[in-house]
Structures are given as structure tokens and as C-alpha cells.
Amino acid sequence: MLALFALQAQEYTIHFDSLYSIHLQEQRQIEILFPEGYNLSSGDTYDIFYVLDGEWATSLSRTVLRFLGYAQFVPKDLIIVSIPNRYNHTVNMRERDFTPTQIENYNISGGADNFLSFLKSELITSINLKYPVNTENKTLYGSSWGGL
């Protein structure tokens, strides 16, 4: 006999924010997803899950994290920081942000050092100052070029 388990849908409160990056010389949009029951004044700290390619990978990450939390492989109460790609007109700048070297036939490739500096010294620092996070427990998720 098959046992079926219904996942409890964890609802997130989404906060839209942005921050200017000196390293990238541009305004970057971010989305912060707070777990159900999040309370800034509770004294609780939260692990952080940073998601690259946020415009499409956040929904997938939310689903996977919900399942892994239910199975007790990850904490159930994570703050998800979604980092959507920047578009210059219609050009997705992920090629620039995620590739560490210039790639032939990819005109804007090779800017990963600047993007990593943005992540480390600007975004993560900003999140650590604004929200009650466990600074030791953070994960960065990316796929394809975002996995470089």
C-alpha cells in the first residue's frame, strides 16, 4: 500500500528591495522571502539561502526547500534572498556576472569577480545588517553559469 504525504504549504512574505552596487555600477533588485511566522523582534535568527537567476529559480528553490524542510534535511525557517538577473535593454547580464573569464563569441563575459565582490561585500553585508540572520549558515544556489 502506498502512503501519500501532503506537504504543508509554507507561505512566504515577500519584500522587494534594491541596492546600488559600487562593484557593478548599477542598481540591483532583490527579493527577500520571509518564512511563515517571521517576526523581526522575536530574537530568532534565520539561516539564509541566496538564489541566483532569481527571476526563475526562486520558485523552484522554494518548492525544493519546502520538501527538504518537511523531510528535515534543512531548517524549515529559512530566509530566501532572490537575486534576479539584471537586463540591459533585452540583454540578460548573467553572462557578464557568472563567467570568470572572457569567452569567445560572448561579448560581455568575464565579470564574475565584480559580481562576487557585490555578493560578498555589498549584498551579504546588507542582509546581515538588516535582518536577524545566522551569519555562519548561508547557502548560495546557482545553476549552469550561475554554478561557476
pLDDT in tens, 22-38: 999 999 999 999 988 88
Alpha-carbon distances, residue 144 vs 97, 98, 147 (angstroms): 12, 9, 5
- pTM here is 0.85
CA separation for the pair 117, 123 (Å, rounded) = 9
> Higher confidence at residue 39 or residue 49?
49
Q: What is the mean pLDDT of residues 77-93?
A: 89
